[in-house]
Structure 1
Amino acid sequence: MKNINPTQTFTWQQLKNHFIDIKDVHIKDFFNTDQNRFSDYSLFFEDEIFVDFSKNRINRETLRLLLMLAQECDLSHAIKNMFLGYKINKTENRSVLHTALRNQLNNNIIIDNTNVSIMIKKELKKIKIFSDSIIDGNWKGYTGKNISDVVNVGIGGSHLGPYMVTESLKFYKNHLNIHYISNIDGTEVTEILKKVNLETTIFLIASKSFTTMETLSNATYLKNWCLLHTKYKEYLSIHFFALCENVTAALNFGICYQNIFKFWKWVGGRYSLWSASGLSIVLSIGFKNFESLLYGSYMMDQHFLYQELPYNIPVILALISIWYTNFFNVETEAIFPYDSYMHAFPAYLQQSYMESNGKSIDRNGNLISWKTSPIIWGSSGTNSQHSFFQLLHQGTVLVPCDFIVPVISHNPIGSHHKKLLSNFLAQTQSLAFGDNIDINSKIILNGIANENKISHKYCPGNKPSNSIMLKKITPYSLGALIALYEHKIFVQGVILNIFSFDQWGVELGKLGANNIFNDFFNNNTNNKYDGSTKGLIQLYKKWNKI
C-alpha cells in the first residue's frame, strides 16, 4: 500500500472547500431538489441486502470528490494486495488473509511458499468430522453420556465474533447449549459452571497465541475443576479442545494434538470467526449452515474486489464515514439492529472498528493530525428508542447511524414485525427530516406570545443515517453483512493511512496487567508506579490483608 497522507492530497483540499458550501444544507433540501435521490443513492447486494444511503448530508459532488480521494490514495491497488496475500500488516510483517478462509474458488493461495488453501480445506474437514460427531451424539463424555453443552473460553475476537454469530443465527440452532466465558472476573466462570454438567460438557479454549492471560486463567481453572471431578488426567482429551495458532503452547497446557484446531498468523483475532476459532458456531448451527455463512462472506468479498468503486457498498459506506469524521468532526457512529437475534452486533463492531482503526500513528511513522476511527456504539431497536434516542433527535451532537433490519422475520407473531419495521422507518425519517415546527415559532405562556422561546417539541432533523435492509437473517446474508463491515473498516484504514491489522495499544495494557499482578505478591512497588497506581495497589493489599 502507498503511504499517502490524506490531508495533503489535492482532493482533501477540494473536500474542505466543498464542505463549506454544503455543511448547512438540510437533508430535506437534497430530496426536494432531486426526485431520483432514493434510487441514485442506494445499492443492492444480490437480492439479499439493500443499502439506502440517501439520508446523508451529501450530494453528487460529495460522492465524486470522495471517490477521487479513494483513487488518489490508491485504494483499488490496496484491495488487490490484501486478496493476493501481500504482507500489508507491516508492523508484524504478516499477510491479512481472513478472506482466504472463505474462498470458494482459488485453490492456490500461496503465502511464504505454502499453499494455504490446502491447509484451510484440511482444517475445515477436521472441523466437519468433529462437529458432526458431537451433534450426532457419537462423541461421548467421560461417563459415556452424549454431549449437551459447549463452553467457549476466549476473549476479544475469540469471543465477540463467535458469540455474535451464534446469537444472530439462534433460529438455526440445534439441541446443543452454547456458553461463552470471556471475562477474567471469577463470577463469570462460577455462573457458567452452575449451568453445565461436566459429564456432558466440552470446553473450547480459543486463543490465537494461547498465552492471553484472561483466557489461560479461565482455562486453567476449568482444567483443574475437571481433574478434581474426574480424578483422571486422560479424561481431558475427551472434554478439552484448543483453537489456536500456537500449537506448542496448547500442547504444553495439556491439550492432546488431535484436539487442536488450527488457524494461522495471517488471521487476525477479530477476523477469526471464519476459522477454527468459529468452532462454537459450527457446533451451534451445524457445518452446512457454517458453509453458507462462509459463502455469503465470499460473495461480498467478490463484490468488494471486483465492483467498480461508485457501486461498491463497503467503499461508499467507508467514504461517507470519513466525510463525517473528518469534515463534520463527528466523534461517534451508532449501530442499531432492529432484530433481537442481532443484539450482539454493535459490540462485535466496536472491536472490529476501534481495535482496527483506533490509531494515532500513520503508516509513515508520523503522529496523525486527522481523525481515524469514530467511537462505535449502539443497541437493538426498539429498546434504544426508549433509552437514548432523545439525544439523537434533539441533542447537541451529531451521530450518524446505521439502521439494520430484516424484512422477513423468523418469528412473525401477530403484527409485531410490521410494527418493528414501522419504527425502523419512522426513526430514519424523523432523524433526517425532523418536524414541521419552525425554530422561530413562539410558545404561548399565560395567553401571551413569548418572543424569546421556541417550542420544546422542536426537532431540527438533518441527522444522517444509512438504512440496511436484509431480506431475512440467514447464515448467507449474515456472512455477507459481516464481510461488508470488515471491508468498510479496511477502506477507511487505507485512506486514513494507518495499519488496521495490529493492536499495540492492547498489547501495552496486557504488559501492564502482568507487571501489576506480579507485584501484588511483593513490596517492590514504591518507585515503580505513579502515585495513583501505587496508592490503589496498597489499598488492595490492605483490604485483602496482604
Structure 2
Amino acid sequence: MAGEALVREFLDHAERLAGARIPDLLAADPARAGAMALRVGPVYANFARQRIDAATLATLGGLAGHVRLSLALRALVDGAEVNASEARPALHTALRSGIGRGEVARAAHAEALAARGRMAGLVDGLRASGVTDVINIGIGGSDLGPRLAVDALKDFSDGRFHLHFVSNVDGSEVQHVLRGLDPARTAAILVSKSFGTQETLLNGAAVRDWLGGGERLYAVSANVPAAEAFGVDPARVLPMWDWVGGRYSLWSSVGFAIALAIGMDGFEALLAGAAEMDAHAVEAPLETNLPILHALVAVWNRNALGLPTQAVLPYDQRLARLPDYLQQLVMESLGKSVRSDGRSPGVATVPVVWGGAGTGVQHSFFQALHQGTDVVPADFIGVVRPAHGLRDNHEALLANLLAQAEALGNGHAAEDPQKAYPGNRPSTLFLLDELAPRSLGALLAMYEHSVYAQSVLWGINAFDQWGVELGKRIAGELLPALRGEGEAGDAVTRALINEIRARS
C-alpha cells in the first residue's frame, strides 16, 4: 500500500505542476538556484530549471526510499547478483574502486589491479618500440568509451601515439583509416570479450593482413585461445571479464587505447575521478546524492511529464562524442519493456537520447528545441577553465551555454507568434572545473550510477541486452543468401537480396 500511495502522490504532483512554469518556480523561491545545486569534486550540477519543487522532490525521495535505492547502489558495488537474467554481478565499479565490501567485489578489484599492471608493461613496451600509430578495433562499448575518452583528453597526450578507431563492418572505414599509415610503425588492438564479434574479426583480419602478420597485434579478450589462433601472442592479450558489460568497460583493459593516449598516470586519474563518484553514490544521503537526483529527475520527466526524448548538449568540442556514448549507456541499459520479474513496468521507460556539441548544434536542431511542438529536456555540460589561451572564444562559448539554457527555460513573449518562445523547457546544467581525466571519470560514473538508479526505480535489468541478438542472428542466416547460396528471409528481404545481387 505504501508504494501505491507514493505513486498516487507522484501523479498528484504531476497534475499540480502540469501548468507550472519555470520562471514562476524561480520567482517563488529566491533561494532555488542555490538550493537545487550540488557539487561532487570537480563536477557541479544545477537542477533549478527542472519542473519540480520541494514537495515533488520529497515525493521522489519517498519513491527512492520505497525501492531501497541506497541499498541497491550498495549491493551493486558489493558484488551482488544484480544482473538477474544472466545470474552474475555487474562489477564495473571494482575496476576503479576498492569500496566494495563483498568477497566477489574484493576479488574483482584485485584482478583489475593485476590487469592494470600488465597493461602498464605493454604501454611501456609500445612506447619503446618505435610505433607511432595505434588502431583500436572494436564495436559498441569496445569503441565508444575509449574513443570518447581519447578525444576528450587529447590535451593530456604527449603526442607519442596517434590513436585511430575502427568499429563499423563497412570496409570503407578500415580502408580510410589505413590510408596514409605506415605498417612498419603501426600496431593494432582487437577488443572483443568473446573474440567472436563479426565486425571486429573482419576488420581485424584486414588490419592483420595489411600489417603483414600478428607481430604488432594486441588484444583485449576473455578468449585467449581464440586470440592466439588469430595470430595474437598470448603475452599481448589483456583480460576481460563476464562481470563487466561492454558499455561499462572503458575502466578495464578496454581502456588500453586511453592509457596509450594519455599515459598510465592519466588513466589512473580517470579511474580516481570515477572512484570519487562511486564513493559519493553509495555514501551520500538521498537528498544530496547527485546520481540519485539525476535519476529521479529523469524518471519524473519521462513518467510525470511524459517527455520521450533527452538531449545531451556538451559545450566543449572535446566532448562531441558524449551523446553517442550516452546513447549506448542509457538506451542499451534501459531499453526494456519487461521488468526483471517478467511483468510489465506499467510505465514508459527509456527516453531516446540524442544531442551534439554547442555551439554548432545551435545552427541545426535548436530551432526545434525552442519552438518545436515537443518539449525536450536537456543536460547542458560546460567547462569552466579551457585548455587553450583563446579567452574571447571561451567567454563566447560560455555565454552561449548560459543563454541557451536560460532561453529554453524562460522563453520570450512577442506580439508576432512566430517570434515567440514558449519556454518552460527543463534542463540541468553541469559545469566541470576543467576537462581533465579526473573530471571526465567523475562525470561518466555519475551517468552510470544514474542509469542504474533509474533501472531500480523501474524494476528493470540495466545489465543485459537481449534486444541486440535477434538482428545479429538473422544477419548470419542471410549471409549465404547474399552469396547466392540458397534463399533466406521473408518475402521483402528476398526481393531486396535479388535486387542487390542483380546490381553487384
- Provide the secondary structure at the position in 2 that maps to 1:58: coil
| Partners of 2:194 and 2:308 in 1: CA distance | 33
Q: Deviation digits for residues 139-194 of structure 1, max 9, x if unmatched?
A: 2xxxxxx1000000000000000000000001011221000000000100111111
Residue 402 in structure 1 maps to residue 379 in structure 2: yes
Aligned to 1:373: 350
| Partners of 2:229 and 2:457 in 1: CA distance | 42
Aligned to 2:491: 531
| Partners of 2:134 and 2:191 in 1: CA distance | 12
Residue 163 in structure 1 maps to residue 158 in structure 2: no
Q: Residue 253 of structure 1: CA displacement?
A: 1.8
Q: Residue 530 of structure 1: CA displacement?
A: 1.9
After the TM superposition, which residues 297-316 of structure 1 pair with which residues of structure 2 at under 5 Å, given as runs? 297-316=274-293
Aligned to 1:85: 79
Counterpart pick for 1:174 among 151, 158, 161? 158
Q: Residue 514 of structure 1: CA displacement?
A: 1.0
Aligned to 1:514: 476
Aligned to 2:50: 56
Q: Residue 414 of structure 1: CA displacement?
A: 4.1
| TM-score, normalised with respect to structure 2 | 0.97
Contact 2:83 2:90 in 1 (8 A): yes
After the TM superposition, which residues 382-461 of structure 1 pair with which residues of structure 2 at under 5 Å, given as runs? 382-437=359-414, 441=415, 454-461=416-423
Contact 2:270 2:437 in 1 (8 A): yes
After the TM superposition, which residues 48-127 of structure 1 pair with which residues of structure 2 at under 5 Å, given as runs? 48-104=42-98, 110-111=103-104, 115-127=107-119
Q: Residue 252 of structure 1: CA displacement?
A: 2.4
Amino acid across the alignment from 1:39: G
Q: Deviation digits for residues 86-124 of structure 1, max 9, x if unmatched?
A: 111111111100000001566x75339x82232211111
Aligned to 1:476: 438
**What's the RMSD between the two structures over aligned residues?**
1.7
After the TM superposition, which residues 191-230 of structure 1 pair with which residues of structure 2 at under 5 Å, given as runs? 191-227=176-212
Q: Deviation digits for residues 345-366 of structure 1, max 9, x if unmatched?
A: 1110011000110111111112
| Partners of 1:240 and 1:9 in 2: CA distance | 57
Contact 1:289 1:475 in 2 (8 A): yes
- Provide the secondary structure at the position in 2 that maps to 1:491: helix
Counterpart pick for 2:38 among 31, 36, 43? 43
Amino acid across the alignment from 2:315: Y
Q: Residue 520 of structure 1: CA displacement?
A: 2.1
- Provide the secondary structure at the position in 2 that maps to 1:111: helix
Please, which runs of 5 or more residues in structure 1 have no aligned partner?
Answer: 140-145, 228-232, 442-453
Amino acid across the alignment from 2:136: N
Aligned to 1:244: 221
Q: Residue 254 of structure 1: CA displacement?
A: 2.1
Counterpart pick for 2:241 among 264, 288, 297? 264
Q: Residue 133 of structure 1: CA displacement?
A: 2.5
Q: Residue 200 of structure 1: CA displacement?
A: 0.5
- Provide the secondary structure at the position in 1 that maps to 2:136: strand
Amino acid across the alignment from 1:73: V
Per the alignment, do residues 470 and 414 of structure 1 end up closer, same or farther by CA in structure 2, a change over 3 Å counting?
closer
After the TM superposition, which residues 322-333 of structure 1 pair with which residues of structure 2 at under 5 Å, given as runs? 322-333=299-310
| Partners of 1:314 and 1:270 in 2: CA distance | 18
Q: Deviation digits for residues 182-236 of structure 1, max 9, x if unmatched?
A: 0000100111111311101110000111111111111112222233xxxxx5xx2
| Partners of 2:490 and 2:202 in 1: CA distance | 27
Amino acid across the alignment from 2:103: I
Q: Residue 456 of structure 1: CA displacement?
A: 1.6
Counterpart pick for 1:494 among 456, 464, 470? 456
Q: Residue 523 of structure 1: CA displacement?
A: 4.5
Q: Which sits farther off after the overlay, 177-186 or 407-416?
A: 407-416
- Provide the secondary structure at the position in 1 that maps to 2:301: helix
Aligned to 1:185: 170
Contact 2:183 2:210 in 1 (8 A): no
- Provide the secondary structure at the position in 2 that maps to 1:508: helix
Counterpart pick for 2:324 among 337, 343, 347? 347
Please, which runs of 5 or more residues in structure 2 have no aligned partner?
Answer: none
| Partners of 2:115 and 2:428 in 1: CA distance | 38
Contact 2:85 2:340 in 1 (8 A): no
Richer in helix (by share): 2
Q: Deviation digits for residues 401-422 of structure 1, max 9, x if unmatched?
A: 0000101111131411111110
- Provide the secondary structure at the position in 2 that maps to 1:43: strand
Aligned to 2:501: 541
Tell me the matched-pair count.
Answer: 503
Amino acid across the alignment from 1:320: V
Contact 2:98 2:109 in 1 (8 A): no
Contact 2:336 2:350 in 1 (8 A): yes
Contact 1:109 1:116 in 2 (8 A): no
- Provide the secondary structure at the position in 1 that maps to 2:275: helix
Q: Residue 522 of structure 1: CA displacement?
A: 4.1
Contact 1:9 1:72 in 2 (8 A): no
Residue 361 in structure 1 maps to residue 338 in structure 2: yes
Q: Deviation digits for residues 66-103 of structure 1, max 9, x if unmatched?
A: 11111111212211111111111111111100000001
- Provide the secondary structure at the position in 2 that maps to 1:529: coil
Amino acid across the alignment from 1:506: V
| TM-score, normalised with respect to structure 1 | 0.90
Counterpart pick for 2:311 among 334, 356, 375? 334
Q: Residue 367 of structure 1: CA displacement?
A: 3.3
- Provide the secondary structure at the position in 1 that maps to 2:418: coil
Counterpart pick for 1:485 among 444, 447, 460? 447
Q: Deviation digits for residues 387-407 of structure 1, max 9, x if unmatched?
A: 111111111001000000101
| Partners of 2:197 and 2:344 in 1: CA distance | 29
Q: Residue 39 of structure 1: CA displacement?
A: 1.1
After the TM superposition, which residues 282-321 of structure 1 pair with which residues of structure 2 at under 5 Å, given as runs? 282-321=259-298
| Partners of 1:369 and 1:190 in 2: CA distance | 47
Amino acid across the alignment from 1:165: A
Contact 2:14 2:304 in 1 (8 A): yes
Amino acid across the alignment from 1:469: L
